[in-house]
Amino acid sequence: MTGGGEPDFEEFVAARGPRMLRVAWLLTGDAHQAEDLLQTVLAKVWPKWHRITADNPEAYVRKALVNTHASWWQRRWRGEVPHGKLPDTVAAPDPYDAVDLETFLGAAVRRLPARQRAVVVLRYFEDLSVEETAATLGCRPGTVKSQASKALKALRAQVPAAMAEGGARDDRGR
């Protein structure tokens, strides 16, 4: 938020809500749960908005998303169960098709342990630095690096074609 004035909560939600919802989707893997997660966080954040806006409201909301999702994960409220195998529907995907890529990569990210998933979301989707990711997760930069490395290795094993060739195919498609 720029401009020096106190960012209004509703303006923030209108401006950043779509992006935050995508972060929530990547964390939960489900559109309804993503909206639920986002609303839960917004309801927590709103009462203290006037204090949050003094710092970086987006970073605060992002951190709240990750932490709230982690608490859901720990309490298994969402009934989310990690699969040993990817669902059959994505066993032989065409990762270059946008819809299949969503299913395929989304499922692969969701198979990651919660910590690695959070690192992937923050480092590679939100494009935060190692230090910013560490600050958001409340851990050391070294932990972020190691978690990111493990996550990349896991994703590489699950989506090798997409990781290796997706960019080239993507470029050709433009």
Question: Could you give the CA distance from residue 43 to residue 34 in angstroms, rounded to a whole number?
Answer: 14
Question: Could you give the CA distance from residue 31 to residue 21 in angstroms, rounded to a whole number?
Answer: 9
Q: Which of residues 19 and 140 has its CB atom nearest to other proteins in the complex?
A: 19
The DSSP code for 112 is S
- Backbone dihedral region of 29: left (phi > 0), alpha (psi from -120 to 50 degrees) or beta? left
Q: Are 22 and 125 in contact (CB under 8 A)?
A: yes
CB of 159 to other proteins, least distance (A): 8
Q: Which of residues 84 and 173 has its CB atom nearest to other proteins in the complex?
A: 173
CB of 132 to other proteins, least distance (A): 15
Q: Which of residues 82 and 157 has its CB atom nearest to other proteins in the complex?
A: 157
Q: Note the residues at the interface with other proteins (CB under 8 A).
A: 6, 8-10, 13, 17-18, 21-22, 25-26, 31, 34-35, 39-40, 42-44, 46-51, 98, 101-102, 104-106, 109, 120, 123-125, 127, 148-149, 152, 155-156, 159, 162-164, 166-167, 170
Closest CA to 117 of 57, 29, 30: 29
Q: Which of residues 131 and 170 has its CB atom nearest to other proteins in the complex?
A: 170
